[in-house]
Amino acid sequence: MASDDIGKDSPFEEPTESEKDLTSWIIDHTERWRDHRDANYIDLWEEYERIFRGQWAAEDKQRESERSRIISPASQQAVETRHAEIMEAIFGQGEFFDIQDDVMDVNGNPFDVEQIKVQLHEDFKRDKIKKSIDQIELMAEIYGTGIGWVLGT
């Protein structure tokens, strides 16, 4: 088990002004892109989700004479197959990240890379990172864009 002392009393606890500026810039851009998406593509996104979920809607009819309400599972199957292949590529080998010690310690302070790696694995497990990546990748398959939120503690 990794020590809970990693990061204590570090200069990384309180964000600097440049980090606050970067955060503000990112949030501004993501909100503008979300507004652009909602204004121009939300109907298509909702259609893609209905097709994936197998939900019929009158606005998805191709012709006025169309009476069938059958939704073919082929789209859902294709999305899920591709999703499974990508998840296998990411997580199939066990550990999905690695840290190598480059022995370039700052000010002669030897960081224990193995301890940091173990702490990251524990944090990722606690925060259910694999599940989040799974959901982000599925949304990327359905909508063509995978976006996830990174929240601070």
- How confident is the model over 7-40, as pLDDT tens digits? 455 555 788 888 899 989 999 998 998 899 889 9
35 located within any domain: yes
Distance, in Å, from the CA atom of 44 to the CA atom of 21, rounded to the nearest integer, reads: 34
139 located within any domain: yes
User: What number of other Cβ atoms are within 10 A of residue 14's Cβ?
Assistant: 8
pTM value?
A: 0.59
Longest dimension (CA), the chain: 77
109 vs 70, which has greater pLDDT? Answer: 70
Choice among 24-28, 85-89, 139-143 with the minimum mean pLDDT = 139-143
Domain that holds residue 123: 17-60+69-143
Distance, in Å, from the CA atom of 38 to the CA atom of 93, rounded to the nearest integer, reads: 38
The residue behind tokens 């998805």 is: 60
137 located within any domain: yes
pLDDT, mean of residues 66-89 = 83
- Number of structural domains (the chain) is 1
Average pLDDT of the chain is 80
6 located within any domain: no
Distance, in Å, from the CA atom of 31 to the CA atom of 12, rounded to the nearest integer, reads: 26
